[in-house]
Structure 1
Amino acid sequence: MALDPAFSAAPGAQGVTTPVVATCTRDCPSACGLLAYVREGRVVKLTGNPAHPVNRGTACRKTPGFLRRMTSDKRVTTPLRRVAGQWTPVSWDDALDEMAERLKDCVARHGPESILYYMGFGERTALKIVNARFFAHLGGVTTLRGTLCGGTGYAAQGLDYGPRVSHDPLDLQNARTIVLWGRNPVATQFGLMPHLRAARERGASIVLIDPRQSESAALADLLVQPRPGRDAFLALAVAKRIIEAGWEDRTFLETRADNLAGYLALLARWSMDELVAACDVPLAVVAALAEAYAQGKPTATMLGWGLHRFTLGHEMVRAVDALGAVSGNIGLAGGGVSQGFEEWGPYDPELWGEGLHPPRRKLLMPQIGREILEAKDPPVEMAVITAANPVCMAPNADLVAKALDCVPFVVHMNLFLDDTAEHADLFLPCAAFYEQRDLVASFGHNYVGPLVRAVDPPGQCRSQFDIFMDLGRRFPFAGEYIKTEEEWLRLLIRPLLEKGVAWDDLWKGPVRIPDAPMVPWADGKFDTPTGRFQLLTEVTACEDCRDAARYPFTLLTVGPVGHLCSEREPGYDSGPLEIAMASEAATRLGIADGSPAKLVSPLGELVVTVRHDETSRADVVSCGRGGWLSHGQGVNRLIPDLVSAVGQGTPYYEARVDVERLS
């Protein structure tokens, strides 16, 4: 396989070539610009790209792990077929011949709905749309609805503003106050760090709202730790305080917003004491937040993904949106309530292929295990899984594993034999992100970045694009489907080209989407049916958990600093999963710091190591997500497969647990 023509092979210091421009493709909003340094056909270093306007040369602590995984001798480098319970190497021709024949057989005998295409979010690049188009050509296979992450917030903000649009991260330079509400950029969006640090240097204040004292607490002037799942009541309390003080933006509320009377009635439904008790935040802190929003503006609110992880997460997001409106921060430079961007937005939506054969059945991603098991007429006869590790990352993980075991033939594409691979019949080894050519948009900023192939994939590994092109040659629609990378990419970015973006510029570095606003809604016009901002009028009264006596702790499975989701490698230094809990709570249970214990939920139990945390709320247990079941760290085995009330999201944080001492 030839290297990308954009690759510069001029030797540099110590025999290292001129750095190759890359963009991180992983499931992270930063989509950081990176530089890959190559020596003797191997990438030896990954660094941030100083020319990238967002991450500005920074790179998070996950970056060395990307390199370690991609150069690991444990990568699978040949297709594997499970024979009598054991993996056996096979040729690409044999693997794709069998895959094609099984796909054709499923369509002929059971209809296209008998095939499940599970495309996760582990790799977010333009050419993944071409993968989905392959399955549209088959005639409308079963696909997915809902998400494991951001659907709740997306849907909630859609109710308030219209289709999701956020302030450009570069607009943080105009903020006097920045509120990180459930957001932990040190761990989950390091690309924001240059802008947050610059804001601090300018004298801006930073507020962190999080039940945990997360890694980002070091940035904050004020740390607020509400009771998990009660953020809506905190937002209502702050708004109530603003209105009591006469600080509200009455002009916006009366001329740019709907439902003002209903919203004011909602605020009147609870006294301030009741709201403060519900969120468990002191009145003095509520007052400080009110002043930050109304007197310290422009106030930029950066919503995190933690708010999505509750059944009623939409109410939390909408309550914070309303707080932004009450305080006069909507449509204001340096303000806004921002959550994310549509990373597929820059591409031609027609190329997903739903116009060829609309999907006839979609299974809920948050409940994928039970959805597969309950699928009838026809049942799922074959599953193809890309950019995902659902056995590890989906809730009720044991049920997901059971469901895949009931599917007659499962194809999995990845770098390693992970938890999902243990339930697959055919494993196809994929190229890593700097071993392929593609384009990358972001759900955290407004730039499209290049992915330039710096080195060849090891062994027989291939990009998913190459795999699907080769597979497509075995079908009657090959004449329409088979194209080169460049041909498909030019088709995909047609909307960008029509807006004046030059093809060559995309490969030199990130290009800003031309019509992306720096400050959305600055004209006061919203993409809602009335053209006005929609204030919420209902919030569900809080109730104590029915299982509080048996399961007294809320389990927060958070994004770790050192790795992304389940992107590890077999044999990583694991040991028992470490959980953090308040020192007082652990001591009361007789569990010393560093001691083993059992983490117990209604679904099962897991042996863990307890770490005392002096900063934790006493009703919270937290741990990093993404540990493998095969390594004894599969915490998603304990989490119920619920669905959020709005947006078909996954409310991981509804999990209730107890911690039991091991004698």
Structure 2
Amino acid sequence: ILQHTKNPDKFIALLLSYPLQRLVDACDVSLKEVKQLFEIYAGDKPVASVVGSGLQRYSYGGENVRFINALAMISGNIGISGGGSYFHLHSYRNLNLNWLEPEKRQPRRSFPLCTIGKDILAAADPAVKMIWVNCINIVNQAPDSQRIIRAFEGVEFKVVVDAFWNDTAQQADLVLPAKLMLEQEDIIGSFLHEYVHYVAQIIEAPGQARDDYWILSELGKRLEPPIRLPAKNTALRSALKSAYIDTSLEQLRRQKCVCAERPGIAYEGLQFNHHDKKYRFPAMLHAEPMPPPEYPLRLLTLVRRGAQHSQILPNRRKKSPDVWIAPDCPALADLDLSKAVVLISPLGCLKVTVYTLPGLYPEAVLYRRGDWINQGGGANQLIEANPTDIGSGAAFYHQFVNLENVKETS
């Protein structure tokens, strides 16, 4: 295995530089649990490592994932059937999007989502004069929501294309109602598998809702000079002209899905996508930043089961967010749950209802993200806009908070 890696001696030296007990303590697990994990990976059966969505949301999130990949690699579980390390795929990777590329690309700026509010405010020469938001509730879903609102307020004209009157739509000068998935014909890939699916329209969209392609086509016609997009069926056919799928639009309409022709085993023969075909181990292991004394709890804003992020139906919205802590959470010693409680960070506070949930980590606060700011929620108002070590991702789970009773005023 090591002959298929670059600088393996440095990686092994890095690991051996840490006493085992120090690593066990840093992870807050027992030596028994470490040995159980070792026995699984050292066994004679393949092990598939499934990396959950969220491990990348820490300050060193990329490092987290790379060390899990390294465990899979060094234990012989990469490049074999039944092994592998699994995270998200790019949902468009099996479609052909080359037809979208302009003949001559104009210079452009790009702002990462994790610091979008700060970057819009700081933009100069020229300043941002217009914002077009297409089906993303960025005010609600990106860190430091209040700064994003201030950024939007300083821009002359904002257009939001969405199906919900959400926190971002409420900052717009113009809202264009968008069709949802089952209200239009489309082709979609997946983050989790290699199938491309046909999406049929099965219900009519309400009111004046239009699909994104119709909106952009009509806008393009009105520009000077005009930008004319191909007909929608032409665009769908172009997307299917991919090296990885063998189907036509008519076939896909009949068959409903097609599996991309990708290798059944990733990195078979331990050949990797570097010029020398060798695997790269992580070069460093950073210590996890410690919480400040006044904010001892880590805020985990996980997805909610009953909604896709902030796409929450009116009858499921609550005025006050719910949070969960462990029965042995140290914050409980100073809390009176019969009185009003606020969740606080350096950016502000939210009034919350606190419940206990056995099995949670004692120093964590669980918050199901996506609830709306105008309904009293919006966890990202409390989360500072910091990138992860990957660069473009947001360190959502680096945020430290506290729970306190609302101070009574005389």
TM-score (norm 1): 0.59
Do 1:597 and 1:608's aligned partners in 2 also have CA atoms closer than 8 Å? Answer: yes
Q: 2:247 aligns with which of 486, 501, 517?
A: 501
Q: 2:65 aligns with which of 292, 298, 317?
A: 317
The residue number in structure 2 matching 1:433 is: 181
Deviation at 1:649, TM superposition (A): 0.5
Q: Does 1:659 align with 2:403?
A: yes
Deviation at 1:477, TM superposition (A): 5.4
Do 1:639 and 1:655's aligned partners in 2 also have CA atoms closer than 8 Å? Answer: yes
CA distance in 1, matches of 2:336, 2:43: 45
Deviation at 1:543, TM superposition (A): 4.3
CA distance in 1, matches of 2:225, 2:246: 32
Do 1:431 and 1:464's aligned partners in 2 also have CA atoms closer than 8 Å? Answer: yes
The residue number in structure 2 matching 1:483 is: 230
Change (3 A) 1:571 1:358: farther
Deviation at 1:466, TM superposition (A): 1.0
Change (3 A) 1:359 1:426: same
Task: Classify the secondary structure of the residue corresponding to 2:256.
Answer: coil
Aligned pairs (5 A) from 1:111-260: 252-253=1-2, 255-260=3-8
Q: 2:308 aligns with which of 544, 549, 564?
A: 564
**Identity fraction in percent:** 30
Deviation at 1:570, TM superposition (A): 4.4
Which ranges of structure 1 fall in alignment gaps of 5 or more residues? 1-251
Q: 2:152 aligns with which of 390, 404, 425?
A: 404
Deviation digits for residues 364-417 of structure 1, max 9, x if unmatched? 211111111100011110111002001111110000011111111000011121
Task: Classify the secondary structure of the residue corresponding to 1:413.
Answer: strand
Q: In the alignment, residue 336 of structure 2 is paired with which amino acid? A: I
Aligned pairs (5 A) from 1:274-285: 274-285=22-33
Q: In the alignment, residue 7 of structure 2 is paired with which amino acid? A: N
Q: In the alignment, residue 513 of structure 1 is paired with which amino acid? A: A
CA distance in 1, matches of 2:166, 2:31: 48
Deviation at 1:566, TM superposition (A): 0.5
The residue number in structure 2 matching 1:29 is: none
Task: Classify the secondary structure of the residue corresponding to 2:128.
Answer: coil
Task: Classify the secondary structure of the residue corresponding to 1:495.
Answer: coil
Deviation at 1:322, TM superposition (A): 0.6
Do 1:505 and 1:511's aligned partners in 2 also have CA atoms closer than 8 Å? Answer: no
Task: Classify the secondary structure of the residue corresponding to 2:328.
Answer: helix
The residue number in structure 1 matching 2:385 is: 641
The residue number in structure 2 matching 1:580 is: 324
Aligned pairs (5 A) from 1:256-295: 256-295=4-43
Deviation at 1:475, TM superposition (A): 2.7
Change (3 A) 1:642 1:583: same
Aligned pairs (5 A) from 1:22-171: none
Aligned pairs (5 A) from 1:312-461: 312-353=60-101, 355-461=103-209
Deviation digits for residues 155-182 of structure 1, max 9, x if unmatched? xxxxxxxxxxxxxxxxxxxxxxxxxxxx
Do 1:392 and 1:420's aligned partners in 2 also have CA atoms closer than 8 Å? Answer: yes
Q: 1:630 aligns with which of 374, 387, 399?
A: 374
The residue number in structure 2 matching 1:5 is: none
The residue number in structure 1 matching 2:355 is: 611
Task: Classify the secondary structure of the residue corresponding to 1:388.
Answer: coil
Deviation at 1:432, TM superposition (A): 1.5
Do 2:92 and 2:188's aligned partners in 1 also have CA atoms closer than 8 Å? Answer: no
Do 1:259 and 1:537's aligned partners in 2 also have CA atoms closer than 8 Å? Answer: no
Deviation at 1:359, TM superposition (A): 4.3
The residue number in structure 2 matching 1:521 is: 267
How much is the aligned-residue C-alpha RMSD, in angstroms?
Answer: 1.7
Q: In the alignment, residue 267 of structure 2 is paired with which amino acid? A: W
How many residue pairs align between the two structures?
Answer: 405
Q: Does 1:534 align with 2:272?
A: no
CA distance in 1, matches of 2:211, 2:145: 28
Change (3 A) 1:354 1:588: farther
The residue number in structure 2 matching 1:589 is: 334
Instruction: Name whichever of 258-267 and 572-581 sits farther off.
Output: 572-581
Deviation digits for residues 506-554 of structure 1, max 9, x if unmatched? 222110012x122101122111121011122311234423x1x100000
CA distance in 2, matches of 1:404, 1:570: 25
TM-score (norm 2): 0.94
Change (3 A) 1:409 1:569: farther
CA distance in 2, matches of 1:418, 1:315: 34
CA distance in 1, matches of 2:75, 2:206: 55
Q: In the alignment, residue 193 of structure 2 is paired with which amino acid? A: H
Q: In the alignment, residue 414 of structure 1 is paired with which amino acid? A: D
Q: Does 1:307 align with 2:55?
A: yes
Do 2:304 and 2:368's aligned partners in 1 also have CA atoms closer than 8 Å? Answer: yes
Deviation digits for residues 183-228 of structure 1, max 9, x if unmatched? xxxxxxxxxxxxxxxxxxxxxxxxxxxxxxxxxxxxxxxxxxxxxx
Do 1:297 and 1:329's aligned partners in 2 also have CA atoms closer than 8 Å? Answer: no
CA distance in 2, matches of 1:647, 1:376: 22
Do 2:236 and 2:249's aligned partners in 1 also have CA atoms closer than 8 Å? Answer: no
Q: In the alignment, residue 321 of structure 1 is paired with which amino acid? A: N
Do 1:596 and 1:610's aligned partners in 2 also have CA atoms closer than 8 Å? Answer: no
Q: Does 1:555 align with 2:332?
A: no
Q: In the alignment, residue 389 of structure 2 is paired with which amino acid? A: A
Change (3 A) 1:529 1:494: same
Q: In the alignment, residue 493 of structure 1 is paired with which amino acid? A: L
Task: Classify the secondary structure of the residue corresponding to 2:362.
Answer: coil
CA distance in 1, matches of 2:212, 2:334: 50
Report the structure, 1 or 2, having the larger helix content.
1
Q: In the alignment, residue 343 of structure 2 is paired with which amino acid? A: L
The residue number in structure 2 matching 1:106 is: none
CA distance in 1, matches of 2:138, 2:21: 43
CA distance in 1, matches of 2:379, 2:105: 38
CA distance in 1, matches of 2:248, 2:162: 33
Task: Classify the secondary structure of the residue corresponding to 2:111.
Answer: strand
